[in-house]
């Protein structure tokens, strides 16, 4: 399958890319191309111009700033998975990256492209929401920071404006007495999440002191399971308290998406099971 014809630009600076996106009618950014190009070949997306970000320096790489990791938008999934910083300071994110797609996808796809695409079946949006990450976007008027909780507005609808680019994501490190885990029921053909559940917890002396649970693949955006989180905080961590909290995730999942592969009802059931497993492993990670 062929794409429709398009103009191609390859700027070398962020300022030039932003300028092109603001002045060329209908221009779209191109990062790894692993979501945009398939959509163009299917003619679901037909941008008249692409602005290739791959030559822009300074948009990839991973560094630690205080209690956060800063990950550049052009950082490939494979680099996130292989990073000793991410493995040490936020292992849930390294594990997530290691299970995206296949080696070809991980060696081309970027964290910024995945975030900006806002696909409900993608892995990073769910995990970044559970982590309480912040997305940095840059446009003509400078940078702004958008919490992951607010960034995923709807299916394939991110909060950044046309002409703005995702430039980095700031991810809180997992500290002492904290733990995280992501479980997905992967589609066997693509590895996309039919359902994915991310849990990030804190515990002290065997009692849960904080919990963030995000569920992907069932609604248009990652959904926080707030009733389940509230049920856990203050409880002694046990199989029973985890099962009780997990039984509350369905409350967050109105109008579940369904397709020929998995009905909405089945996805909600999976979310309950995966929440229980993710919480159990997140508490082990937290040293409980
Ligand atoms: C076979 C296959 C299997 C896959 N399996 C999985 C999986 O298991 N889990 C998963 O999460 N994903 C999966 N993916 C998707 C993959 O992770 C993509 O790499 C990712 O969704 C998009 O990143 P990209 O860099 O390729 O972005 P692109 O395809 O280049 O762009 C995606 C969208 O984001 C926009 N964009 C790109 N970069 C920016 C930026 N910096 N700022 C603003 N907008 C931007 C583009 O204009 C476009 O709209 C799979 C893809 C394929 C082809």
pLDDT digits (tens, 9 = 90+) for 187-210: 999 999 999 999 999 999 999 999
pLDDT tops 90 at residue 1: no
Q: Distance between CA 258 and CA 65 in Å, rounded?
A: 41
| CA nearest neighbour of 114 among 34, 59, 191 | 34
User: What would the pLDDT profile of 153-175 be if each residue is shown by its tens digit?
Assistant: 999 999 999 999 999 999 999 99
In the chain the domains, ranked by start, together with CATH numbers, are 7-52 (3.30.43.10), 62-172 (3.30.465.10), 178-285 (3.30.390.50)
217 CA to centre of own chain: 11
Q: Are 138 and 229 in contact (CB under 8 A)?
A: no
Distance CA 135, CA 169 (A): 5
| Residue owning the nearest CA to atom 20 of ligand 1 | 114
Q: Please tell me the distance between residue 79's alpha carbon and the centre of ligand 1 in angstroms.
A: 15
pTM for the predicted model, two decimal places: 0.97
* Pairing relationship of beta strands 223-224 and 207-216 according to DSSP bridges: antiparallel
CA of 233 to the centre of ligand 1 (A): 35
- Residue 263 corresponds to which tokens in the numbers above? 């009905």
Model pLDDT for residues 107-157, shown as the tens digit of each residue: 999 999 999 999 999 999 999 999 999 999 999 999 999 999 999 999 999
Residue nearest to atom 43 of ligand 1 (CA): 165
């Amino acid at each position: 399958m062929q794409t429709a014809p398009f103009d191609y630009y390859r700027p070398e600076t962020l300022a030039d890319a932003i300028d092109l996106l603001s002045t060329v009618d209908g221009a779209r950014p191109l990062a790894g191309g692993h979501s945009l190009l398939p959509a163009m070949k299917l003619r679901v997306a037909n941008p008249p111009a692409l602005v290739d970000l791959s030559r822009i320096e300074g948009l990839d790489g991973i560094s630690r700033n205080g209690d956060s990791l800063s990950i550049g938008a052009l950082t490939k999934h494979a680099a996130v998975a292989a990073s000793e910083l991410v493995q040490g300071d936020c292992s849930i994110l390294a594990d997530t990256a290691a299970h995206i797609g296949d080696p070809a996808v991980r060696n081309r796809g970027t964290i910024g492209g995945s975030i900006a695409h806002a696909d409900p079946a993608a892995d990073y949006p769910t995990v970044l929401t559970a982590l309480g990450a912040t997305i940095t976007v840059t446009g003509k008027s400078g940078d702004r920071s958008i919490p992951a909780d607010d960034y995923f507005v709807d299916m394939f609808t991110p909060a950044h404006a046309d002409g703005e680019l995702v430039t980095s994501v700031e991810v809180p490190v997992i500290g002492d007495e904290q733990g995280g885990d992501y479980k997905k029921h992967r589609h066997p053909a693509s590895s996309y999440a039919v359902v994915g559940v991310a849990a990030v917890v804190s515990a002290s002396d065997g009692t849960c002191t904080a919990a963030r649970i995000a569920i992907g693949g069932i609604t248009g955006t990652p959904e926080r399971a707030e009733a389940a989180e509230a049920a856990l905080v203050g409880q002694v961590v046990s199989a029973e308290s985890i099962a009780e909290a997990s039984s509350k995730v369905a409350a967050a999942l109105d109008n579940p998406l369904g397709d020929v592969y998995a009905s909405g009802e089945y996805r909600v059931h999976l979310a309950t099971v995966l929440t229980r497993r993710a919480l159990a492993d997140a508490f082990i990670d937290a040293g409980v």
